[in-house]
Amino acid sequence: MEDYGQEEDFEMGDELGQDEIDLAPLSKSKSGMRASLDLSNFRPITTAEIARTAFIRHLRALDGPAITLVNTIDDSSPPLGYRFIKACKLGKGVTKADDGFMAGCECRPNNGRNVGCEFTKCECLREAELGPNNKPIFPYYCSGPRHGCLRDFYLDSRNAIFECNKLCRCHQNCKNRNVQHGRQVKLEIFKTANRGWGLRCPQPLRKGQFIDTYRGEIITSAEADAREARAKGKDSYLFAMDKFALGHGIADEDVYVVDGEHMGGPSRFMNHSCEPNCRQFTVSYNDGDPKVYDLAFFAIHDIPANVELTFDYLDAEVSEETEERKPEKGATECLCGAEKCRKYLWL
């Protein structure tokens, strides 16, 4: 997931339904006369059905396990102009650090019981937070029932995750490579009763299991402000990439923003909850680039199959600070239904 270039993508729009519905020509009898058709049960194909068929076709083109679409509420479809992309797109005025600023580790593939890097030698952990023993901790379990899942040390924090990269000498199965391999679970976009479209997983998820990244167009802060002003009153899909801004002295106006409204992946359809079952983490493959990185969703506890996947639209630190504040005029009412609901999405 570390390539933010011009990846192949899938866009819906002009071609809706053109190759999905086979209207076979009327057959001819031996005498050359056209045979009659029984149209008593004929039902015209609706625009909604054509749109839904086209949307499903694009879901099938995405990498990874199947993504399905379900709507038992009404005949609506997800946004028809939505564009599925495999990696974030760089917008106008956005630059990614050159690979010359990227450093890889010198760990051997057979290190650490043949699972790759070891914390005592891996340079990829030089920016990672220190654990209880004052030593850096690899983000993922490498054995046991939660193999490949995010460790509790990370789940209980807002620490950034630093994975190995393409310059590292460890192999692709190194225990410090997870998000970069992409989504490994099935997902389902479904229509909720009162919150528009949502996302769920048809299989159980383990605590700490990686789900998918949040993708979109990476834009400048100025462009984000302009889009937000034009979209007054609409849902916002903007996420500031400011995780390392303070530590690297990056001014607010120089922070990049991910906009997932018109392009991205299935995680765009995840709804908010004040008591979520997922959390978004920063995942970096290049500590020399504090402005461009991945945003990845992990389950923060075991999640049964077909339970809606949700995350808190506010970071944990922000949630604590705003809990007692009164909402601003025009604040969006929260419909998450959680026991400790804050009543409003944005305070």
Which one is catalytic: 4, 154, 285, 313? 313
Contacts of 168 (CB under 8 A, 6+ apart): 104, 105, 107, 117, 124, 174
* Dihedral (CA of 61, 64, 65, 68) sign: negative
Q: Which residue has the tokens 């760990």?
A: 107
CB 121 within 8 A of CB 138: no
Helix H segments across 63-200? Answer: 111-114, 152-155
Distance in angstroms (rounded) separating the CA atoms of residues 230 and 248: 31
Which one of the listed residues 214, 256, 285, 293 is annotated catalytic?
Answer: 214
Which residue matches tokens 């995010």? 150
Q: CA–CA separation, 109 vs 130, rounded Å?
A: 24
Annotated active-site residue 214? The verdict is: yes
DSSP string, 166-177: TT-SS-TT-TT-
Count of H-run helices and E-run strands, the chain = 5, 16
Task: List 280's β-bridge partners, or say none.
Answer: 297
Is position 4 annotated as part of the catalytic site?
Answer: no
Catalytic residues: 214, 313
